[in-house]
Amino acid sequence: MSANILELHKITKQFPGVLALKDVDFQLRAGEVHALVGENGAGKSTLVKIITGVIAPTHGEIIYEGHPVAWHNPQESISRGIAAIYQDPAIFPDLNVAENIFMGHQPHSATTRRIHWRKLYAKTEELMTSLNINIKPTDKIRGLSIAERQLVEIAKALSINAKIVIMDEPTSALSISESEELFDIIRDLKRKGTSIIFISHRIDDIFTVADRVTALRDGQYVGTREIGQVTRDDLVQMMVGREVKNLFPKLDVKQGKELLRVEGLSRKGEFRNVSFQVREGEILGLYGLVGAGRTEVAKAIFGMNPLNTGNVFVDGQPVTIRSPRDAIALGIAYVPEDRDKEGIILNMDITANISLAILQEFCKAGWLDTKAEAKTALEYAQLVEVKAAGLTQKVLGLSGGNKQKVSLAKWLASKSKILMFDEPTKGIDVGAKASVHRFISELAAKGFAVIMISSELPEIMGMADRIFVMHEGLVKGYFPRASVNEQDILAAALADA
């Protein structure tokens, strides 16, 4: 058994009015992949900030490489070999790969003290080769995929000779194949003695790559287990403090009339000849790998991007949708994947966000009826069970799950009957996932037509009545709930069908 490279003893962090962490213990072995799990608000981010020197603990001790340390800023932890890779890569899009990797510690000429560009590119090439990454040092970051940007972040961490790499939700935006490539790199880092703290809501990823797992709940240490000695159900119970028996609470619903039908939808470079229909009370699943074209289809139906060809029918009638305003008027709503950028306005409060799609209803003679607006916001916030200090709280301070609920409340307030959910549980914890799944199922039971886009196969199989599978812009398979199986869906998603 390897010695511990990092030990945290009785870590406590008190913010004004909030006890974020209380007496948390954590040990990381050399050359270990150690998963850190917990619901949103469990204290994971606070613990990472303490490990990296962003904030100091109120009480407790940090032991690094056998010696007590007290970081005063992140630069101190970086200089000692601790690097963090966050969900949204902290890189400069208009600089190239080499410039990003060595930002702040570029090699300089011994005589002129200017940047030694030849050495910079040579070192970058060496790093990329060691990680088996096929990205050129001169490539601009702006032109890279999310997966490639994360690989650049890993190379950046290794450029400072990192002994500990913290990965925060590294697979949340990756396809299956991209995740596997990342796991291969993590295993290679482990073989070379690098220690990894792996934070993820994706339980399958934890069982794939972790050696041990530590759970936090409500700011307190729950326990640490060897990954081979814990089941999926055990891990969920450690995280949420209860057994989540029904993660996919799909209700049997009698389906009604057809609400939406699309025929031969095409948009150049994105998708071709897409056709499907969805009825009252039905949940239609759109599955595929990242880049398959599912999001692009939803955005086209919602009027965000124009179609080149194809027809859309609502309630059996042909319609023309040129903008989201047209879609909203027809009762179509789109809850986007990137809720922070497209679904909500972070610096506005909950009331303002919920009323966004129907703001004109509260305007009388040029004045905003704030009482009516607040009443409607309260009604729908309670309906979706938003947890907040109050409706005047800015959305920026909410958890991922509650942000998603605010986005959903906005569209329910608009009286839409056709709801398109794009990755509805992305980046939210397992308890919040069960809540979102339950609510979507209840919406279908009330007669809404639901289109659910998801990259998580258990989710799409557990929730959908029918599943359409896309690959590179084409529908490659159709599976009724009664005859669905994982192998056939994956084969279609990988274009093996």
The most confident of 29-38, 133-142, 418-427, 477-486, by mean pLDDT: 29-38
d(CA 26, CA 37): 12
Q: Is the pLDDT reported for residue 243 higher than 60?
A: no
d(CA 377, CA 410): 8
366 backbone φψ class: left, alpha, beta (φ>0; ψ -120 to 50): left
For residue 497, what pLDDT is reported? 43
**Which residues is 466 bridged to in the sheet?**
284, 480
The CB-side HSE value for 59 (13 A sphere, CA atoms) comes to 10
For residue 89, what pLDDT is reported? 67
Q: Is the pLDDT reported for residue 71 higher than 80?
A: yes
Burial class (CB in 10 A: 0-12, 13-18, 19+), 228: exposed
For residue 19, what pLDDT is reported? 85
Q: Is the pLDDT reported for residue 120 higher than 70?
A: yes
Tens of pLDDT, residue by residue over 426-479, are 777 777 788 888 889 989 999 999 999 998 888 898 899 999 999 889 999 999
Going from the N-terminus, what domains does the chain have, and what CATH number goes with each?
4-240 (3.40.50.300), 258-493 (3.40.50.300)
Q: Is the pLDDT reported for residue 341 higher than 70?
A: yes
For residue 103, what pLDDT is reported? 87
For residue 17, what pLDDT is reported? 72
As a whole number, the mean pLDDT across the chain is 88
490 or 53, which is more confident: 53
> In this structure, are residues 83 and 165 in contact, taking their beta carbons and an 8 Å threshold?
yes
For residue 43, what pLDDT is reported? 87
Q: Which of 338, 364, 368, 329 is nearest to 352 (CA)?
A: 368
Parallel, antiparallel or unpaired: strands 59-64 and 67-69: antiparallel
Q: Is the pLDDT reported for residue 20 higher than 80?
A: yes
Find the range with the poorest average confidence among 96-100, 303-307, 453-457, 491-495: 491-495
Mean pLDDT across 126-154:
86
For residue 40, what pLDDT is reported? 67
Q: Is the pLDDT reported for residue 70 higher than 90?
A: yes
> In this structure, are residues 174 and 208 in contact, taking their beta carbons and an 8 Å threshold?
no
Write down the pTM of the prediction: 0.64
Residue 197 binned pLDDT confidence (cut-offs 50, 70, 90): very high
Find the range with the poorest average confidence among 241-245, 252-256, 379-383: 241-245
Q: Is the pLDDT reported for residue 48 higher than 80?
A: yes
> In this structure, are residues 193 and 35 in contact, taking their beta carbons and an 8 Å threshold?
no
Tens of pLDDT, residue by residue over 260-302, are 999 999 999 899 999 999 999 999 999 987 778 999 999 999 9
